Structure 1
């Protein structure tokens, strides 16, 4: 169950971060010329923006998404990290419950809460299961934390991507006279001025 939740959550966050990451145009900086006082726009690539965004997300999860202007991703980051942390704590609590009952039985006490329900072997198996679930939840927490950093970095890169009208991508259908079939493909056109 934990594995299924882990992989489903990573798939959903990965899909969300990839499908909405090109929402804004490239970065622009307005500057004025001192001699003529004319303002002009200059498209500028900031090579440190992805690193800065990743650093912010490493310091505080979600801060890199805020830096990029992708505020809608912040609840997803905290939902993933928070849910997996909750699963870590819940599985650790259950593990400790079964472990303490087993340790009391080994010490000779017969008053634990599982006395008439589980044998010693059942307590051992429950401990193994909850410990394994806790370890998977720790891996999920680390994975969501790293995914947060990678998402902030990739989103900052894609914010600077050129989405001008000079780039076109069209489907291409051409007959193949040798085989008599139609060849399918994509054509990428660059318009240089």
Structure 2
């Protein structure tokens, strides 16, 4: 129990020290903060750019680190679509040859398969091909939504007037050193 207490106190202390390290401690917030006018069309513009060219909305939002994720999320399912389409065509062409009465027993891939196995292979690769299309569309739509939401959040005003700080207070009623009360202070200054 004591180990858990010390771990929690240590983690909260590190978290609190990083909060104070970011603010500089001695700097005073100027009463007149920088005013950036909100662009109401920025989210729709970012979504439009991503719709036209995937990843362009992330570039517009200056979130360059998301580009590999967007292209991997769209490119990997496209690769699997092409691979499944190729295998589907191979099984379909072999089945068509069998219907015409052409059967090659020496073929290393299809020589030992019967007609039902060829149909099962076609169904398997067709199902995976279609699933790849759905996953590709899902990542494409997700990249559009990401660009839109990210453009909205870039306009969200976060300043030093809104703070969340953990607080450790000694319990003055019991006067025992192990009785700390934990709290989170949320302050908003007008």
Say yes or no: TM over 0.5. yes
- CA RMSD after TM alignment: 2.5
**Contact 2:91–2:122 under 8 Å retained in 1:** yes
> Relative contact order (alpha carbons < 8 A, sep ≥ 6): 1 or 2 greater?
1
Equivalenced residue count is 149
Partner residue in 1 for 2:125:
130
Q: Residue 66 of structure 1: CA displacement?
A: 0.5
What SS class does the counterpart of residue 35 from structure 2 fall into? strand
- Cα distance in 1 for partners of 2:181, 2:120 equals 59
- Cα distance in 2 for partners of 1:164, 1:171 equals 18
- Cα distance in 1 for partners of 2:92, 2:186 equals 63
Matches within 5 A, 1:25-40: none
- Cα distance in 1 for partners of 2:127, 2:181 equals 52
Partner residue in 2 for 1:84:
77
TM-score (norm 1): 0.68
The answer as to 2:146 corresponding to 1:151 is yes
The unaligned stretches of length 5 or more in structure 2 are 1-32, 172-179
TM-score (norm 2): 0.69
Q: Residue 86 of structure 1: CA displacement?
A: 0.7
Partner residue in 1 for 2:159:
164
Partner residue in 2 for 1:55:
48
Larger radius of gyration: 2
Partner residue in 2 for 1:70:
63
